[in-house]
A and B are shown apart, each in its own frame.
Chain A
Amino acid sequence: MDKYLEMIRVRFLMMLAYRTNYYTGILIYSINIGAYYFLWTAIYGGKEEIQGLSVVQMTTYVAISWMARAFYFNNIDREMAMEIMEGKVAVELIRPYNYLGMKTMQGLGEGIFRLFFFSLPGLVIVYFIFPIRFTWDLGVWGLFALSILLSFFINTQLNLLTGITTFFLYNNAGLIRAKRVIIDLFSGLLLPISFFPGWVQSIMKFLPFQGISYVPSMIFTQGFTTQEAWAAIGQQFIWVIVLIIPIQLLWHIAKKQLVIQGG
Chain B
Amino acid sequence: MFYVSMFFQYISQYVKTRLQYRADLFVEFLSDLMSQAINLIFILVVFGHTDLLGGWSRDEIIFIYGFFLVPYAVFSAFFNIWDFNERYIVKGELDRILTRPIHSLFQIILERIELESLLGAVTGIAVMVYAGSRLGITLTWYDPLLFIVFVIGGALVYGGIFVVLACISFWADAKTSIMPMMYNISNYGRYPVNIYNKLIRFVLTWILPFAFVGVYPASFFLEKEEWYLYAYLTPAIGVVFFSLSVFLWNQGIKKYRGAGN
Contact = CB atoms under 8 A, between A and B. Distances in A.
Interface of A: 21, 24-25, 27-28, 31-32, 34-35, 38-39, 41-45, 47, 50-51, 169-175, 177-178, 181-182, 184-185, 190-191, 195-197
Contacts of B54: 42
Contacts of B185: 31
Interface residues of B, number: 38
Q: Which of A51, A174, A175 is most buried by chain B, counting CB atoms within 10 A of its CB? A: A174
Given A24-B181, A43-B53, A185-B38, A174 B30 contact: yes
Interface string B57-69: 0000000000000
A195 B48 contact: yes
Interface in B29-86: 29-31, 34-35, 38, 41-42, 45-46, 48-50, 52-54
Nearest to A28: B181
Contacts of A172: 24, 27
Interface of B is mostly: helix
The 5 closest A-B pairs by CB, nearest first: A174-B28, A178-B31, A174-B27, A42-B195, A24-B177
Nearest to A34: B200
B24 A43 contact: no
Interface of B: 21, 23-31, 34-35, 38, 41-42, 45-46, 48-50, 52-54, 175-178, 180-181, 184-185, 187-188, 191, 195-197, 200
B33 to A, nearest CB: 9
Most buried by A among B27, B34, B42, B52: B27
A251 B197 CA distance: 51
B175 to A, nearest CB: 7
A163 to B, nearest CB: 15
| Interface of chain A, main secondary structure | helix
A134 B160 CA distance: 41
B31 A196 contact: no
Q: By CB atoms of chain B within 10 A, which of A21, A24, A51, A196 has the most?
A: A24
A25, A47, A178: residue with the most chain B Cβ atoms closer than 10 Å? A178
Nearest to B197: A38
A24 B127 CA distance: 34
A171 B21 contact: yes
Contacts of A47: 49-50
B31 A175 contact: yes
Contact of A39 (B29, B181, B195): B195
A24 to B, nearest CB: 4
Contacts of A39: 46, 53, 191, 195
